[in-house]
Amino acid sequence: QNILIKVRGLKTWYPIRTGLFKKISGYVKAVDNVDLDIYRGEVLGVVGESGCGKTTLGKSILQLIKPYSGEVRYQFHDGEKNLCTMPKEKLDNVRNKLQIVFQDPYSSLNPAFTIFGSMEEPLIRFGMKSKSERRRKVAELLKEVNLPENYMERYPNEFSGGQRQRIGIARALSVDPEFVVCDEAVSALDVSIQAQVLQLLIDLKKKRHLTYMFITHNLSVVEYISDRIVVMYLGHIVEVADTDELFQHTLHPYTKALLSAIPIADINQRRKRIPLQGDVPSPVHPPNGCPFHPRCPQCMEICKRVVPEPVTQIRNGRSHMVCCHLVKQQSEKETV
């Protein structure tokens, strides 16, 4: 498969400053030592409870948050480049390739500007000098997200949440990106509107050959839209597999607990609910060993001391990665 982005050893740690001289007394380890490949043309879902680091991971890949260390290697047409070490001016020049759609499109639409005013700003930044050309482009973009072109004269507060999100998507697409992070992009919408916006994202992906990182806490949404799913816990990736594989052969105890909470109407299809004990521990003082061990119903002695290494299983030619001592021990027994 064609890799678009290689993330290696990515750490996004926020310093905690205390005392009169604001000395660094520790770090919030929001993303801790993440390795990940993102394939060109895929929808990669990222799930986990709030505070697990999924939004920080997305923003760190886009360099909207500067990582503490590690690499984000992007495959440009003239070769692979590490975005983390790219000078700001160069990064600004390639930023059109990497865009984000937020949960709340208000964050990218200035309430004081008409839709045209908000949407022309990235076009100007990326060199579209002629106003008539910008108007034509904005009209095309609005049409692409199924909105009338005369909406460009109106203000954000005149639109419903679903319409605003369509405008947010059109704005992100205005600079012809290759990679789009959708951060809880449908979470604030009613269920019926969610389905329409998801379908729009799928249609645009096909038409424009986009790659999505789809961040959400909604497992039903992620199952619907994703080709592959990453499960995060306390800044770490704990499981990665193709969507069907992850749902049918769930390996990590945390993922099992998450999936058991999905509401399913058919009583015969429901999973036995696995309650998650307690809260996610503080990323300032993460537990030793497996980060999930204080909440894991299957915790063993080794889990409290040793960080589990990634184990990859291959089923039907597809790889399934998990970080868990129990899974490792079980697969070793099976191969004996």
Structure tokens belonging to residue 1: 């498969």
Question: Can you tell me the distance from the alpha carbon of 288 to that of 13, in angstroms, rounded to the nearest whole number?
Answer: 17
Question: Can you tell me the distance from the alpha carbon of 308 to that of 331, in angstroms, rounded to the nearest whole number?
Answer: 14
Task: Name the residue among 294, 313, 185, 317 with its Cα closest to residue 240.
Answer: 313
167, 303, 311, 321: which one contacts ligand SF4 (CB under 6 A)? 303
Nearer to ligand SF4, 95 or 325 (CB): 325
In the region spanning residues 233 to 292, those forming contacts with ligand SF4, defined by CB under 6 A, are: 252-253, 290, 292
Question: What H or E segment, with its residue span, contains residue 231?
Answer: strand 228-233
- State the residue for tokens 């597809």: 318
- How far apart are CB 276 and ligand SF4 at their closest, in Å? 12
Task: Name the residue among 182, 137, 189 with its Cα closest to residue 163.
Answer: 189
Nearer to ligand SF4, 119 or 234 (CB): 234
- How far apart are CB 13 and ligand SF4 at their closest, in Å? 22
Counting contacts by CB under 6 A, is residue 67 touching ligand SF4? no
Assign 335 to helix, strand or coil: helix
Q: What is the DSSP letter of 255?
A: H
In the region spanning residues 180 to 219, those forming contacts with ligand SF4, defined by CB under 6 A, are: none
Counting contacts by CB under 6 A, is residue 300 touching ligand SF4? yes
Counting contacts by CB under 6 A, is residue 325 touching ligand SF4? yes
- How far apart are CB 234 and ligand SF4 at their closest, in Å? 11
Write phi, then psi, for 7 (nearest 5 degrees): -100, 130
- How far apart are CB 294 and ligand SF4 at their closest, in Å? 8
What is the distance in angstroms between the CA of the first residue and the CA of the last residue of the chain? Answer: 31
Show Cβ contacts of residue 193 under 8 Å, excluding neighbours closer than 6 positions: 160, 161, 162, 186
Nearer to ligand SF4, 123 or 257 (CB): 257
Write phi, then psi, for 213 (nearest 5 degrees): -105, 115
Counting contacts by CB under 6 A, is residue 311 touching ligand SF4? no
Binding residues for ligand SF4, rule CB under 6 A, total: 14
43, 142, 296, 321: which one contacts ligand SF4 (CB under 6 A)? 296
Counting contacts by CB under 6 A, is residue 13 touching ligand SF4? no
Which parts of this chain interact with ligand SF4 (CB under 6 A)?
252-253, 290, 292-293, 296, 298-300, 303, 308, 324-326
